[in-house]
């Protein structure tokens, strides 16, 4: 029996495909109800082995559904340097996940032939999972798939998604990027963070107390481990730590961003600086209450501008000449785009939603800052930029001020997880900048003022009927939808709205901006009705705000 035939046999025996539901590899991998994923996980174990053999490198498999409800789960494959999977392999993943049990071997054989894979090599896989109850059995299905093709699977157990990306990158760079262990991850980030605390005294009103909503997810125990290394430099008070609440239920970064309110479980008072992770700790948003008890959100746009402005100062102050750019999606607040382009004079690129799109575009800059408005993002330094920064730090001819800026830039690079958006790394980066500036959350918020906005979801029978163009800012189908949106938007001062099919849920997402919150809510509602009517809405019609 060949290895591919064995894959058929093991699949049929242990992990048969029990339903005809078609599932596609989306912006963040496969994601659906956990009960429908057993066969998918097994087959992704098979595909991971082929990917490892094709790349001659270790491949990652992360079991998570991020901000989705606890009953969901998902899986994504991680490329050798921590990137998202290549588009061609996304298609292979979709084919393999949906083929009949007896057709597994033929799909595998086709991939092997197309990619000219040397199957005599041993596939090496790093695997991790989040805290969902279903993750344990699904991890076993992945491991069964890896072993069916003779691969080796190292199970890291519970990790945040960014930690797995980090491990994969470390091992494939012969640990030039860092040590491929959880301790190595904490050591790299905290060493750089603590050095940054001693490089130039922060002044002003910054407080070293942060109140964190961990979404009842894997971020809670990981931040607890981080805290033991931080000492008094940053005190993180964790709520929604998983001891009582349900994962992502009325808490977490997605809930706070969409609902624009504090999560359950966190009693927020004026003066507190608060943040929320999502379930797998790859997103972070900040927020606070002002003295009038008004809620203020500091989302990915605010983080991006804080980070880009800080890096802009460091690059200039160190005497370097590097091309700094910022990448956004259609969800970026219009005020943020105006501030970046017209005030900061930093180039801005807009790409479709999804980290893989932002990451790829950010690689075109010497220093590419990318954050989705939902709080998922990081900073990429090109190899040339990294070499230039480290060389400048060792330049004996620099002035004391230039030397300080260059040294700070080196440590800032090391506190950033460049493989993917990382809530823990981003938290340390934001706290570093706020400490340097001596700012409260309210001080940060005054850099620019967001246009009031609203996001809603419309359930539809088939979300794929909504097709988009122009980085998802306009629809091409169904017929008449974009014309209806344009007409609605024209009736609002500073109005803007777009719709797009979700990559993770059976809904169409609606985003709207206007010059007041009431008007933004109203515009979102009206656009939502247009989506419901023209794109096959199901269930109750959207209710008025």
Q: Which residues are catalytic?
A: 66
Please state, in angstroms and as integers, the Cα–Cα distance from residue 421 to each residue in 161, 256, 282, 489, following that order: 9, 18, 5, 32
Q: Where are the beta strands (DSSP E) in 24-89?
A: 30-33, 59-63, 72-78
Query: What is d(CA 363, CA 64) in angstroms, rounded to the nearest whole number?
Result: 26
Structure tokens at 102: 């007896």
324-328/367-371 β-pairing: parallel
For residue 173, report the phi and psi dihedrals to the nearest 5 degrees: -110, 20
78 by DSSP, 3-state: which?
Answer: strand
Residues written for the chain:
545
CA distance 393 to 387: 10
Burial classification of residue 394, based on how many CB atoms lie within 10 Å of its CB (0-12 exposed, 13-18 middle, 19 or more buried): exposed
Q: Report how far residue 1's alpha carbon sits from residue 349's, in angstroms, rounded to the nearest whole number.
A: 52
Q: Helices 87-98 and 38-55, interaxial angle, to 10°?
A: 140
CA distance 349 to 360: 11
Please answer whether residues 315 and 346 qualify as being in contact, where contact means their C-beta atoms are separated by less than 8 angstroms.
no
For residue 451, the Cα-to-chain-centroid distance in whole angstroms is 23
Give CA 418 to chain center in angstroms.
12
Dihedral angle over CA of 454, 455, 458, 464, nearest 10: 130
Residue with tokens 């930029």: 385
Query: DSSP letters along 180-217, please?
Result: SSHHHHHHHHHHHHHHHHHSS---TT--SEEEEE-TTS
How far is it, in rounded angstroms, from Cα 51 to Cα 49? Answer: 5
| Cα(80)–Cα(458) distance, integer angstroms | 37
Angle (CA) 250-70-214 rounded to 5° is: 55
DSSP-derived pairing of the beta strands 124-129 and 152-158 = parallel
Strands of the sheet containing 152-158, edge to edge, are: 30-33, 72-78, 59-63, 124-129, 152-158
Residue with tokens 């070499």: 387
Q: What's CA 443's distance to the chain center, in Å?
A: 26
Cα 357 from Cα 351, distance rounded (Å): 6
Buried b (16+ CB within 10 A) or exposed e, 78-96: bbbbbbbbeeebbebbbbb
């Amino acid at each position: 029996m060949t290895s591919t035939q064995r894959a058929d046999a093991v699949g049929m025996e242990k992990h048969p495909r029990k339903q005809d539901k078609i599932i596609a590899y989306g912006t963040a991998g496969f994601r659906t109800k956990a009960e429908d994923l057993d066969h998918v996980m097994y087959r992704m174990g098979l595909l991971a082995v082929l990917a490892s053999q094709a790349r001659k490198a270790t491949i990652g498999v992360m079991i998570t559904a991020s901000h989705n409800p606890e009953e969901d789960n998902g899986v994504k494959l991680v490329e050798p340097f921590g990137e998202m999977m290549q588009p061609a392999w996304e298609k292979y993943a979709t084919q393999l996940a949906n083929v009949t049990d007896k057709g597994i071997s033929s799909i595998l054989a086709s991939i092997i032939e197309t990619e000219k894979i040397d199957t005599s090599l041993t596939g090496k896989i790093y695997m991790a999972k989040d805290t969902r109850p279903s993750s344990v059995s699904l991890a076993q299905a992945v491991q069964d798939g890896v072993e069916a093709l003779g691969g080796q699977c190292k199970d890291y157990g519970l990790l945040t998604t960014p930690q797995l990306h980090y491990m994969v990158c470390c091992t494939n760079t012969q640990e030039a990027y860092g040590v491929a262990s959880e301790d190595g991850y904490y050591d790299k980030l905290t060493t750089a963070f603590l050095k940054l605390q001693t490089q130039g005294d922060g002044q002003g009103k910054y407080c070293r107390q942060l109140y964190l909503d961990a979404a009842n997810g894997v971020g809670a125990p990981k931040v607890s481990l981080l805290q033991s290394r931080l000492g008094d430099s940053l005190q993180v008070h964790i709520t929604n730590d998983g001891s009582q609440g349900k994962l992502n239920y009325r808490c977490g970064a997605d809930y706070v961003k969409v609902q624009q309110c504090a999560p359950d479980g966190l009693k927020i008072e004026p003066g507190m600086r608060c943040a929320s992770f999502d379930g797998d700790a790859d997103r972070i948003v900040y927020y606070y209450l002002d003295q009038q008890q008004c809620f203020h959100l500091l989302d990915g746009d605010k983080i991006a501008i804080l980070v880009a402005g800080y890096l802009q100062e460091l690059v200039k102050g160190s005497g370097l000449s590097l091309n700094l750019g910022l990448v956004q999606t259609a969800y970026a607040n219009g005020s943020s785009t105006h501030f970046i382009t017209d005030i900061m004079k930093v180039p801005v690129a807009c790409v479709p939603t999804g980290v893989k799109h932002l990451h790829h575009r950010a690689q075109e800059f010497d220093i590419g800052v990318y954050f989705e408005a939902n709080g998922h993002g990081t900073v990429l330094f090109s190899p040339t930029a990294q070499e230039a920064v480290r060389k400048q730090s060792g330049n004996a001819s620099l002035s004391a001020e230039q030397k300080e800026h260059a040294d700070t830039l080196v440590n800032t690079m090391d506190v950033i997880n460049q493989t993917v958006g990382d809530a823990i790394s981003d938290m340390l980066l934001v706290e570093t900048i706020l400490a340097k500036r001596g700012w409260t959350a309210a001080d940060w918020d005054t850099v620019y003022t967001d246009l009031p906005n609203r996001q809603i979801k419309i359930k539809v029978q088939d979300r794929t009927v909504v097709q988009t163009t122009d980085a998802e800012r306009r629809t091409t189908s169904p017929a008449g939808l974009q014309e209806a949106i344009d007409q609605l938007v024209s009736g609002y001062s500073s109005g803007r709205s777009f719709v797009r099919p979700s990559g993770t849920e059976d809904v169409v997402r609606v985003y709207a901006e206007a010059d007041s919150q009431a008007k933004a809510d109203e515009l979102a509602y009206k656009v939502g009705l247009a989506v419901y009517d023209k794109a096959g809405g199901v269930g109750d019609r959207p209710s008025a705000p």
